[in-house]
Amino acid sequence: MTVSRIAWFFLSLLVAAGFVALWQYVADAGLVSRVFLPGPDRAWAALVQGLTVGELGKRWLGTVERMFYGWLLASFAGILIGAVIGSSERARAYFGPMLELVRPLPASAIVPLAIALLGLSETMVLAVISFGALWPTLLATVHGFSTVEPRLYEVSRALGLPRWKVIMKIALPSSMPDIIAGMRLALTVSLILAVIGEMLASRDGLGSQILFAARSFRSADLFAGVILLGVTGYVSAVALNLVEARVLRWRLSR
């Protein structure tokens, strides 16, 4: 880690500490009612108690599990479908308009349809997560495959490589930066939809924990859940960055 990166890291910690200090001042001064805004000390105490004595840890694991499985399913489907569409100009011509039509559709818009078809079930939550997280990976894969250097395809045809080898040996490695960027965005979408799905379907997770805490005016428990969601998003992003650095080490070493 270079000196500049270390300096920026400590600067970011200083900004975060300043935000926490401001939050504590606002809570202690009573500028906002403690019913709605607890101090960071109360939120931290609720977080520790929930993880050690309460069921916050169990609910957090439920949210992480839904997020991960939905993201994994969406990533697999997005890469597979995106590879088929992106590697064929004819397929892009056929399916491009449909993708542009469905892409802006928010995942929340299909929640009523998912509830009607699957009920307020675990399957419904997973289906909504997968649908919402599918598009970033799929579109990134299509873009990555469609922008592969044309001369590489010419070389593969000259060598007589079968289509699956062209995809696995040429197109997929060249498209990995775009694919991982799409997967990173899909991971954030998966966490958001997991929380929304838990709130709607009353699944055992952080979403329902936050909703119940808000309805019963337990603001410390509410903020504890929000803090845990933020930590989850940060840790998952860091983990994916480490995977990206390993998968794309050939690109970083150039």
- Rounded to 5 degrees, what are φ and ψ at 168? -75, -35
**pLDDT above 80: residue 166:** no
CATH of region 38-252, choose from 1.10.3720.10, 1.10.4160.10, 2.60.40.1510, 3.40.190.10: 1.10.3720.10
Q: What is the pLDDT of residue 66?
A: 92
List, for residues 114-153, the tens digit of each pLDDT value: 888 888 888 888 988 998 899 899 988 988 888 777 777 7
Extract the tokens encoding 25.
Answer: 């001042």
Q: How many other β-carbons are positioned within 10 Å of the β-carbon of residue 167?
A: 19
List, for residues 208-226, the tens digit of each pLDDT value: 889 888 888 888 889 988 9
**pLDDT above 80: residue 23:** yes
**pLDDT above 60: residue 1:** no
**pLDDT above 80: residue 180:** yes
List, for residues 51-66, the tens digit of each pLDDT value: 888 788 889 999 999 9
**pLDDT above 60: residue 252:** no
Q: Are 74 and 190 in contact (CB under 8 A)?
A: yes
Instruction: Please state the rounded mean pLDDT for residues 13-30.
Output: 85
Q: What is the pLDDT of residue 217?
A: 86
Domain boundaries, the chain: 1-32, 38-252
Whole-prediction pTM: 0.84
List, as one string, the DSSP characters of 55-111.
Answer: SHHHHHHHHHHHHHHHHHHHHHHHHHHHHHHHT-HHHHHHHHHHHHHHTTS-GGGGH
Q: How many other β-carbons are positioned within 10 Å of the β-carbon of residue 2?
A: 7
Instruction: Please state the rounded mean pLDDT for residues 19-48.
Output: 85
Nearest to 208 by CA among 47, 70, 56: 56
H or E element, residue 219 = helix 219-247
Nearest to 210 by CA among 194, 224, 200: 224
HSE of 213, CA atoms in CB hemisphere, 13 A: 24
